[in-house]
Amino acid sequence: MTESITIRHLSAREAREQIGALSAVLIDCVEGGASVSFMSPLTRERADAFWQGVAQGVAEGERILLVAQEDTSGWIVGTVQIVLKQPENQPHRADIAKMLVHGRARKRGIGAALMRAAEDAARKAGKSVLVLDTVTGGDAERLYERAGWTKSGVIPNYALWPKGGFCDTTVFYKQVSPA
């Protein structure tokens, strides 16, 4: 039987306390082939440093960090960020970043639940335009389309796969009504 999942915000303190678990999800995704800004092999030190920066951004109010956590085990199986800090002429916009689900927890609706929670958190933060990008043709692209995001275009050779070689990126946006 599948455990129940809870989506929750992490404070900066909680993010720092959970760096090991967050790094485990990031490393699993990168080593599994996800193009999410890191090259393989992703060391624990590099992953930890990334999450330290995220925790600092949470502390400064520049981003919101959400996690998907199994209720009984407490295992963090996924995460997403809402980047609130934008240029001064874009106070109404947020970026959705690093939507990650551990390979052993996929196909359970966790990505969709994280996206719904991210949209809700952005709304509550007063944001009305959300933007994200993802590898063209991947599972995440299909997830965003099912969630009602609008594809604005594809950028060829935008990034590298973790083990090398170019990949295209699709840019999406979604208009939401602030809470």
Residues whose CB falls within 8 Å of the CB of residue 140, separated by 6 or more in sequence, listed in order: 99, 111, 134
The pLDDT score that the predictor gives to residue 1 is 36
Structure-derived torsion over alpha carbons of residues 21, 25, 31, 32, reported in degrees to the nearest 10: 150
> Is the confidence at residue 2, as pLDDT, over 70?
no
55-69 pLDDT per residue, tens: 999 999 999 999 999
Whole-structure pTM value: 0.96
> Is the confidence at residue 105, as pLDDT, over 90?
yes
39-89 pLDDT per residue, tens: 999 999 999 999 999 999 999 999 999 999 999 999 999 999 999 999 999
> Which class is 5-175 in CATH?
alpha beta
Q: At what angle do helices 139-146 and 110-124 cross, to 10 degrees?
A: 50
**Residue whose token pair is 């393989």:** 40
Question: Residue 162: is the preceding peptide bond cis (ω within 30°)?
Answer: no
